[in-house]
Amino acid sequence: MLGGMSTAPPTSSTALAAAAFARDGFFIARGLFAARIAGLEREFDRICDQLDRSGKDTNARWGGAASDAVNGAGRVVQHTHNVQMYSAAWAALWYDAAFLDLAEAFLGPDIVLHHTKLFRKPAEKGAAFPMHQDWPYFPTVKDSCLAAIVHVSDADDSMGCLRVHPGSHHAGRLADSSGMSDVGEVQRRFPLETAVPVECRAGDVVFFHSLTVHGSRINSSDRVRKTVLAQMYAGDDQVEEGRAGHYDARLVLRGWNHTMDRERANG
């Protein structure tokens, strides 16, 4: 099921994790939050209930031909940014020592939170995401940005789990790789169909580089897929000037933010 992918329990050597991440562009920390996931799922569901009661549109299915090609009609995915603004339990999670030990193995001793986001893929109609890279949305000067997906529920391929092309981050920044446009080089060079499914249990965390090409299929199962994702970058890095349209929390999770100044601190 997971052949060839980098997996390890939380007790694994961070040096080995770092080597696997450098090679593959992603790493699975098996069971990292297994002991806490029941409480986190209750908070996740509470956030979704609050979103539902708001009456606002929370469907984050992408537009564009690349998205249409993998979705068809009627697909949805519920979404909000920054779960730490809803829940103290989720806010505290990002300071978990074992989580940050792994993040430090990939980023170095200084770790800054860019943002978090919740995705709820409903059963049978949960939207797919075309193959893409994350860097176009929040490019950093040193390309240190990475994501960590906390699996609040199980996620197999029928549920639209993450799919990756291992090692694709070595290709660097690819042109028109946001996934929110026409079918292009990224989708042709790294097809969704041949990407490796990253199947996970509730409590697993998947780290992946912002240059790693990834996407997901439709949730065609009878189960809801629940995930929360954190985007982080190194403390000696920063979002490129003029490219900060996406919310940047600039919250120091460990160490120091070397690019902070009075203007940025004032928001």
pLDDT digits (tens, 9 = 90+) for 177-220: 999 888 788 999 999 999 999 999 999 999 999 999 999 999 99
- State the Cα–Cα distance between residues 129 and 64, nearest whole angstrom: 11
Give the total number of structural domains in the chain. Answer: 1
Owning domain of residue 190: 7-265
Residue 223, pLDDT > 80, answer: yes
pLDDT digits (tens, 9 = 90+) for 127-160: 889 999 999 999 999 999 999 999 999 999 999 9
- State the Cα–Cα distance between residues 52 and 176, nearest whole angstrom: 33
Residue 33 lies in a domain: yes
- State the Cα–Cα distance between residues 152 and 79, nearest whole angstrom: 14
Residue 118 lies in a domain: yes
pLDDT at 243: 80
Residue 243 lies in a domain: yes
The encoded tokens of residue 166 equal: 């291992």
Residue 15 lies in a domain: yes
Residue 88, pLDDT > 70, answer: yes
**Is residue 215 a contact partner of residue 129, using CB atoms and an 8 Å limit?**
yes
pLDDT at 50: 98
Q: Residue 58 — φ and ψ, nearest 5°?
A: -115, 15
User: What CATH number did the domain enclosing 44 receive?
Assistant: 2.60.120.620
Residue 66 lies in a domain: yes
Residue 1 lies in a domain: no
Residue 2 lies in a domain: no
Residue 7, pLDDT > 90, answer: no
What DSSP string describes 153-212?
Answer: S-B-GGGT-EEE-TTGGGG-SPTT-SSSSSS-HHHHHS-TTTSEE--B-TT-EEEEETTS
Q: Is the pTM of this model over 0.85?
A: yes
